[in-house]
Amino acid sequence: MTEIALKADSLSVSRGRVPVLSDITFDVSVGEVFALLGGNGAGKSTTLLTFLGFLPPRSGSVTVLNKPVTQNVEFVRQKSAYLPEAANLYPHLNARENIKYFLSLAKVPRSASDIEAALDEVSLATEARGRRLSSYSKGMRQKVAISLAILRQAPVLFLDEPTSGLDPVAIDEFNQLITKLSAAGTTVLMVTHDVYGACQIAGRVGLLKAGSLVGVFEAPEGGQISPEEVHRAFAEGA
């Protein structure tokens, strides 16, 4: 039997008085990549923030590694790495200093060579690593955040539009990296607009529309989900 790492059960969430998620249910197995697709305001980021314990469920529940998030926020954050869209790390620190700072916050000690290896993995130019992030492009900053997520070696990865700002080569490298991490047992919940990217790496794709999960597409054995099919469902509202 497949072990469940993440589970949303009849989850409804409101932001203020506005209902954002309505009765959504899905789960993600250990080592699986699950992508949530949807338009603006569909509730993708809200789902991630609920799994991270930033937003309380109005009804239903979310669990991470079999622990209810509401009662185990610190545990959840310790066991997961979060990569926000356009992560603006500290502009007055360079790449290495930013990584060291956040690793220290997460209480995850890593050697200098580990850090260099992670930066190599995201192809951040060596000469840029000692420069302050204020001189970085959006894509370069995102690469630093990705390398931080790699270094965390957390069993769960929450990715919010992770390829936003990356060039096509970097997107391809990122997708390969996620596939590699997934193969090593890391569970990934990713929200994105990028239908083709999601279909390339995800084992399943969920389609969110106006706060409801309107469809789930599963990759065939040894193959990929058809982006055309997802795109059509997306356009038709499933």
Partner 1 sequence: MDNIIRELRFSLRDPVVALTLLVGVLLSAFTVFSGLKEVDTERAQIERVKQMVDDDRTYALADQSDAGGAAYYAFHFTYAPPSDLAFAARGVRDDLPWKHRIRMLALEGQIYETDAGNPELSRIGKFDFAFFAAFLLPLLMILLLHDLKAAEVRNNRWAFLSATGGDGGRLLLSRAVLRAILLFACIITPFLAGVIVSTASLMSAVVVCAVIGLNLAFWLVLSLFTTSRIQSGPTAAALLLGAWFTLTVALPVGGKLMVEQSVPVPMGGEILLTQREAVNDAWDLPREATLKPFYERHPEWANAEPVSEGFDWYWYYAFQQVGDQTVESMSEALRDGVAERDKAMAMIALTSPPLLVDRVMSQLAMTDIAAFQSYDQCVRDFHAALRAFHYPMLFGGKEYSAEAMKELPTFRPCASNS
Q: What angle do CA 115, 116, 118 make, to 5 degrees?
A: 65
> Assign residue 53 a region: left if phi > 0, alpha if psi is -120 to 50, beta otherwise?
left
Query: Rounded to the nearest 5 degrees, what angle is found at the Cα of 158, between the Cα atoms of 157 and 159?
Result: 110
Q: How far is the CB of 83 from partner 1 (least distance, A)?
A: 8
Taking the least distance from each CB to partner 1, the nearer of 93 and 117 is 93
24, β-bridge pairs? 11
In the complex, minimum distance from the CB of residue 99 to partner 1, in angstroms, rounded to a whole number:
11
Please say which residue, 49 or 214, places its beta carbon nearer to partner 1.
49
Closest distance to partner 1 from the beta carbon of 88 (Å): 4
- Identity of the residue, 190 or 205, whose beta carbon is nearer to partner 1 in the bound complex: 190
Could you tell me the smallest distance in angstroms from the CB atom of residue 155 to partner 1?
Answer: 14
Residue (22 or 142) nearer to partner 1, CB = 142
Sorted by sequence, the CB contacts under 8 Å of residue 158 that are 6+ apart come out as: 48, 51, 52, 80, 81, 82, 83, 189, 190
Residue 187 vs 200, nearer CB to partner 1: 187
Site of interaction with partner 1 (CB under 8 A): 49, 52, 54, 73-74, 77-78, 80-90, 92-93, 97, 101-102, 104-106, 145, 148, 152, 158
110 near 148, Cβ under 8 Å? no
Cα Dmax for the chain: 50
Q: What are phi and psi of 14, to 5 degrees?
A: -120, 150
| 88 or 176: CB nearest partner 1 | 88
* Cα–Cα dist 14/20, whole Å: 5
Closer Cβ to partner 1, 130 or 237, answer by number:
130
- Distance, in Å, from the CA atom of 158 to the CA atom of 133, rounded to the nearest integer, reads 23
Cα 154-155-161 angle, rounded to 5 deg? 75
- Residue type (1 letter), 184: A
Least separation in angstroms between CB 152 and partner 1: 8
Minimum CB–partner distance for residue 158 and partner 1 (Å): 8
Q: How far is the CB of 37 from partner 1 (least distance, A)?
A: 21
